[in-house]
């Protein structure tokens, strides 16, 4: 079985064990999964958990071999889908622009997780939420904002600046480019 997803690495493209990853290369660990293994995430929004957003590189990967699911479904709409893998193939590394483009098509709960872990710029946040509004099924931008606020309340995190950015977009909807003008 193969699973496509993402792997977070430090900015120098090494993992927590010091292994350097290269595009197009295959990596293998010969160990019992659960004690070791290469972590990968199915959803891009999950890869930033535990990483400094200013010191991260994201690889698009294919996990195979022995796989151990570490997912946290818990009956929640917003859950993590993580795997430890014995084998990983690095397809490519994502640029910041590519990360933003992927998040423009993400679910509201994934957008919320992304905002709380990646620290996009104000303009990047507006672009992602504009895209949510442009595909307005049940107002995705509003849902993303509400998930984000719920996360702030649950985890008692201080993301005041990000919260203000999201509030502007929420208040101005698709006309968020008119922010601050009361439109």
At residue 31's C-alpha, the angle toward residues 28 and 32, to 5°, is 125
pLDDT, position 39: 92
Q: Which CATH topology does 3-94 take? A: ADP-ribosylation fold (3.20.170)
Segments of the chain assigned to CATH 3.20.170: 3-94
What is the pTM assigned to this prediction? 0.74
Average pLDDT score, the chain: 77
Nearest residue to 93 (alpha-carbon basis) of 23, 14, 2: 23
Q: Tens digits of per-residue pLDDT, 59-77?
A: 999 999 999 988 765 544 4
Tell me the pLDDT tens digit for each residue of 7-20: 999 999 999 889 99
Distance in angstroms (rounded) separating the CA atoms of residues 21 and 7: 10
- The 10s digit of each residue's pLDDT in 128-151 is 877 766 555 556 556 666 556 555
DSSP state of 72: B
Predicted pLDDT of residue 175: 40
**Gap between the Cα atoms of 150 and 122, Å rounded:** 20
């Amino acid at each position: 079985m193969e699973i496509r997803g993402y792997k977070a690495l430090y900015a120098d493209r090494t993992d927590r064990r010091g292994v350097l990853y290269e595009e197009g290369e295959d990596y293998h660990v010969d160990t019992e999964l659960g004690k070791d293994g290469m972590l990968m995430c199915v959803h891009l929004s999950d890869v930033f958990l535990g990483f400094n957003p200013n010191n991260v590189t994201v690889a698009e990967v294919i996990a195979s071999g022995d796989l151990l699911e570490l997912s946290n479904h818990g009956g929640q709409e917003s859950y993590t889908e993580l795997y430890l893998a014995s084998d990983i193939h690095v397809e490519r590394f994502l640029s910041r622009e590519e990360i933003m483009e992927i998040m423009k098509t993400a679910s509201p709960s994934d957008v919320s997780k992304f905002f709380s872990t990646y620290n996009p710029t104000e303009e990047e946040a507006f672009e992602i939420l504009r895209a949510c509004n442009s595909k307005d099924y049940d107002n995705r931008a509003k849902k993303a904002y509400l998930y984000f606020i719920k996360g702030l309340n649950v985890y008692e995190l201080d993301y005041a600046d990000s919260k203000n950015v999201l509030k502007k977009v929420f208040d101005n909807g698709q006309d968020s480019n008119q922010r601050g003008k009361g439109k």
